[in-house]
Amino acid sequence: RLRDYLEICQKPNKTSDGLPFSLRANIEFEAELQTVKKYCAEGIGLLRTESIYLRRDFDDIDKQKSFYSTILKQTSPNPVTIRLFDAGGDKITGYESNDPNPFLGNRGIRWLLNKKELLMQQLRAICEVAANYHGLVRILIPMVSTLEEFKEVRNLLQQTQQELENEGISIDDNISLGIMVEVLNVALQADLFCTEADFLSIGTNDLTQYLLAVDRGNEQLSHLYDQRHPMVWRLIKNVVESAQEADKPLNVCGELASDPVSACGLMGLGITELSMNPAALPPVKKMLRQRSLSEMKQLATDLQHCQTISEVDNVYGEWKEK
């Protein structure tokens, strides 16, 4: 099976009728780079940076820089999307241990904007490393819920670039700044966020929990937490329309993209860039290569029109049997 997978990975990223797509990897640790290469991911679509905290390196800009440069060197010349530190929620809670309602609390960009020195330091570390990279570096902001948050980060990024220039350090003018679409409001008002962001990345893990009001990690409620929910498909469609209208790149980096049938549904909605855990790359690629765009469009339409999860199950079952 491994040999089978490795063979698939060498083949072109095209649907059966020739539509190209990009598959990238979600990673958090250097050790994962091996699989990224083995399965021929076209770069990193989501670099989670919380490991910097786990290693207690968050205050040390040199250690941060060496983490980013290891990742970039191994990924060159493919694009790399570095997500700003996403503290809080189900992630590292050490910094803010008394948050009474972590998922609705001080997490992601909310937390970072209260810790500006750390945010500025992370932006600086990324900018310094990106300047020497022969490929696209993108910065992704987690847990955005207002346009003001985005604008504030944009200003801080510009300020950082200016400081570097003043110090005679070269900068990467092409660095782009995007937002995670993981709060319901952002998915609904995607047109507004598209006016400011350089790109969008849909995080279906959190988007689903904020849509359905179900804790993504609560096993007792796992029957209620399903990223394939028809309303998730409709929300994603809304985001696609806004991104296309504004001509902004859009990808999905949530777990939904790691499932082969769902990946076909996302392609059917018009999303040709998917990022997933590295192990999911071969099976996803295999199925995308076997089916045509018109079939995928029909799948996406069928999913949006389901009324219940058991109807969704049926659509998935039929698709697999085809």
Q: Contact between 205 and ligand PEP (CB under 6 A)?
A: yes
Residue 253's binding partner, choosing from Mg ion, ligand PEP, none, with beta-carbon cut-off 5 to 8 A by kind? Answer: ligand PEP
Stretch near Mg ion under the rule CB under 5 A, chosen from 203-211, 220-228, 262-270, 295-303: 203-211
Q: CB-wise, 75 or 204, nearer to ligand PEP?
A: 204
Ranges within 220-259 binding ligand PEP (CB under 6 A): 253-254
Give the contact letters, 113-132, x = binds to ligand PEP (CB under 6 A), - = no.
--------------------
Stretch near ligand PEP under the rule CB under 6 A, chosen from 59-67, 99-107, 155-163, 202-210: 202-210
Helix/strand/coil (H, E, C) string of 11-59?
CCCECCCCCECEEEEEECCHHHHHHHHHCCCCCEEEECCCHHHHCCCCC
Q: How far is CA 128 from the centre of its chain?
A: 22
Please pick, from the candidates 128, 182, 259, 302, the single residue that binds ligand PEP as defined by CB under 6 A. Answer: 182
Q: CB count, 10 Å around CB of 111?
A: 24
> Which residue in the block uniquely carries the two structure tokens 């060496």?
66
Is residue 114 a known part of a binding site?
no
Which candidate in 127, 253, 264, 306 is catalytic?
253
Q: Contact between 182 and Mg ion (CB under 5 A)?
A: yes
Contact 252, 233 (CB under 8 A): no
Q: By rule CB under 6 A, what count of residues binds ligand PEP? A: 9
Q: Which amino acid is at 71?
A: I
From the CB of 143, what's the least distance to Mg ion, in Å? 7
Report the residue number whose CB is nearest to ligand PEP: 203
Is residue 228 a known part of a binding site?
no
Q: CB-wise, 79 or 203, nearer to Mg ion?
A: 203
Q: Contact between 206 and ligand PEP (CB under 6 A)?
A: yes
Is 264 catalytic? The answer is no
Whole-number Å distance between alpha carbons of 149 and 158:
14
Please pick, from the candidates 75, 204, 251, 258, the single residue that binds ligand PEP as defined by CB under 6 A. Answer: 204
Ranges within 137-166 binding Mg ion (CB under 5 A): none
Interface ranges with Mg ion (CB under 5 A): 182, 203, 206
Binding residues for Mg(2+): 182, 206
Binding residues for phosphoenolpyruvate: 48, 83, 205-206, 216
Interface ranges with ligand PEP (CB under 6 A): 48, 86, 182, 203-206, 253-254
